[in-house]
Amino acid sequence: MLYTELLQLWDESVQAVDARDWQGALNKLGQISEPTSRTLFNTASAHLALGELDLALKALDLTIARDERLAVGFFQRAAVMMQIDRLEEALSDCIWAQKYLRGNMVIDYKQLGLRFKLYSWQALYNAAAVYCRMGEWERAREVLMSASQERGGGRGGNIEAALDSVVRKEVLAPLLVPEGVVFRPRRQDVEQLQQRDFLGKAKVISSMIPNDDFGGFEPLRLQQPGFYEPKVDGAQDSRYMRMRVPYMARSPGQLTVPGGAMVFLFGEEDRDGMAAVIYDGQRGLLPMSLLDPADVKTSKGKKDNRYPSGIPLPPGLKPPTRPQAGPSPAAPPGARTSDTPPPSYTTATHAPLPASEPPKYTANAASNQRTSSAQAGDVGSVVVKVHYTYTVALSVPLDTPYHEVKEQIAQKLGQPASQLRLRHKQHGSRVLIPLGGEVEPGCTMQEVAEAGRATLWCQLMRNGWRGTVQETSASSPAALPTGRTPTLPRALSYKS
């Protein structure tokens, strides 16, 4: 069975319940081939309203079979079983209803479509009613005392009156879901059953006939010279009305309109005979008896003679123009212009800024910041790059003597410092020069550092030099004679 068919029959049965047509509701519910627990509960409610207890009990059995944890179903079936003297089963259903309350004081079934709240004290009240029918008055009083401790609305004086009835040994009437309270389908689902016109009214998009604004379907006919006009009454479907006589506003919300003026009908007539109209850009009320339909047929195709509706036109769309460049703001007094050369790395290395003045960064010095990222972290240190059979790097302070740097390099390379020889290149030269500070004390890395960096070449001496060494002078290179023991040259060019 389609869900839409189930919704249609379910909604029609609920409408019959609202009209107290119980038999009509049963006929609609009987047409549902695949009933749910909620429609079966509605069937039981209709049988109870007709006094058919056996049929109501069968419908409740099917309801609980569909939903084994429906507390309100056990609550309703317990009341029906008490009326047909099946007390043991009625007491069992009261216990099940109390269990499926899951420790809650109340369950609101509004979300499921049933406008009813089942309280814990109601299940205990029905259990006490069962004990009254069994003749166990003391047990009934104890259950009612425990029900009086339960919190929940709607209790009122029911528990106190029931205790008085138990003292007088009067049988308590069971509590039931009120008559006419049934499960209802969701309003949103029912609204979806109504047919909707998604296409809308036909409208002329493109036509070979000049000034064609007719929308509809008509048979072909001979065209009149000029522009096409459909055969309709001029006042038909017109929202423009003409004032028969002048009218003065008599209460707030009404308009003052002269006689013969054209107004636009905005809403339908209300109970007082007033209609909402728009006149001269204002919305208000006018008596419907003073309005006559206006023939606006002559205004079609003539935009200049059309009657204003009072509704303002949308704003015109214009493409944005190119913004005009304004005068550039004057540079701040401390800013460096394009003619000012960027600060040199030597200045930044040898003359650090005072602590009170933060460093100034400009757009021209952005590339210098990227290339000297190591210097940005610590201005007083230098990164030493050492070329050996592999390359290592270390960071030392600027005032570190050469012999300490040599000790650190030897530690990194795992070689004795006495067998290491360090060389460097002067700026703009390709000649390797030995570090003079290895012998002369007092020389620091500040003398060979440039832009916070220093590059050294390291060689290992073991029974002579290892590697290809060529003796050169400052002006021209000269090869060593064959079989001659090399001495310490003035300048060495190292070929890797």
pLDDT number for residue 372: 42
pLDDT at 376 over 70: no
**Predicted local distance difference test score (pLDDT) of residue 185:** 93
Helices and strands, counts by H and E, the chain? 14, 14
**More confident: 461 or 297:** 461
What pLDDT, on the 0 to 100 scale, is given for residue 216?
60
DSSP letter string over 413-477? HTS-GGGEEEEEE-TT---EEE-GGGTSTT-BGGGT-BTTEEEEEEEEBSSSB-SEEEEE-SS-B
Which residue did the predictor score with more confidence, 114 or 415?
114
Say if residue 406's pLDDT is above 90.
no
Buried b (16+ CB within 10 A) or exposed e, 264-280: bbbeeeeeeebbbbbbe
Considering only 50-64, 167-181, 252-266, which range has the smallest mean pLDDT?
A: 252-266
Q: Which of the two residues, 24 and 337, has the higher pLDDT score?
A: 24
Of 13-22, 88-97, 265-274, 466-475, minimum mean pLDDT range: 466-475
Higher pLDDT, 257 or 230: 257
Q: Both tokens of residue 143? A: 């259950």
Give the pLDDT mean for 7-20. Answer: 94
Helix (H, G, I), strand (E, B) or coil at 119: strand
| CA pair distance 98, 77, nearest whole angstrom | 13
Q: Hey, what's the torsion of the CAs at 445, 448, 454, 455, to 10 degrees?
A: -120
- In the prediction, which pLDDT does 438 show? 55
Q: How far is CA 54 from the centre of its chain?
A: 53
| pLDDT at position 74 | 95
For the chain, what percent of residues have pLDDT higher than 90?
A: 30
Looking at the predicted structure, is the pLDDT value of residue 390 above 60?
yes
For the chain, give the percent of residues with pLDDT over 70. Answer: 66
Q: What is the mean pLDDT of residues 205-224?
A: 58
Round to the nearest angstrom and report the end-to-end CA distance of the chain: 89
Tokens of 25: 């509701």
Q: What tokens does 88 get?
A: 């043991």
Find out whether 310 and 261 touch, Cβ atoms under 8 Å: no
Q: Which residues, 6 or more positions from 68, have their beta carbon under 8 angstroms from its beta carbon? A: none
Question: Within the chain, what is the greatest distance between any pair of CA atoms?
Answer: 138
Integer Cα distance of 233 and 297 in angstroms: 8
Task: Take residue 114 and report the two structure tokens written for it.
Answer: 């049933």
pLDDT exceeds cutoff 80 at 134: yes
Q: Rounded mean pLDDT of the chain?
A: 75
Mean pLDDT is lowest, of 86-100, 240-254, 350-364, 437-451, for 350-364
Between the alpha carbon of residue 103 and those of residues 66, 95, 121, the distances in Å are 23, 12, 12
In 332-419, at which residue ranges do the beta strands (DSSP E only) sit?
A: 381-387, 391-397
The type of residue at 116 is: F
d(CA 83, CA 77) in angstroms, rounded, equals 10
Q: Residue 209 in contact with residue 228, Cβ under 8 Å?
A: yes
Which range scores top for mean pLDDT: 131-145, 207-221, 311-325? 131-145
Contact 349, 374 (CB under 8 A): no
| Residue 145 buriedness (CB in 10 A; 0-12 / 13-18 / 19+) | middle
Confidence of residue 485 (pLDDT cuts 50, 70, 90): very low
Laid out side by side, the sheet with 291-293 consists of 282-287, 274-279, 262-269, 240-243, 291-293
The two three-digit tokens of residue 244, written as one number = 């028969």
Specify the higher pLDDT residue, 196 or 333: 196
Q: What is the mean pLDDT of residues 259-282?
A: 82
Structural tokens at position 148? 């009086």
Q: How far apart are CA 318 and CA 437, in angstroms?
A: 76
The per-residue pLDDT for 173 is: 92
- Residue 199 pLDDT class (50, 70, 90 cuts): confident
| CA-derived radius of gyration, the chain | 51
What pLDDT sits at residue 48?
A: 94
CA separation for the pair 395, 385 (Å, rounded): 9
**pLDDT of 14 strictly over 80:** yes
The amino acid at residue 53 is L
Residue 441: pLDDT band (50, 70, 90) is low
Instruction: Give the whole-angstrom CA distance, residue 484 versus residue 236.
Output: 123
DSSP secondary structure string for all residues of 157-193: THHHHHHHHHHTT-PPPPP-PPTT------HHHHHTT
pLDDT score recorded for residue 355: 44
Q: Are 492 and 472 contacting, i.e. CB atoms less than 8 angstroms apart?
A: yes
83-97, 211-225, 374-388, range with greatest mean pLDDT: 83-97
pLDDT tens per residue across span 27-73: 999 999 999 999 999 999 999 999 999 999 999 999 999 999 999 99
pLDDT score for 419: 82
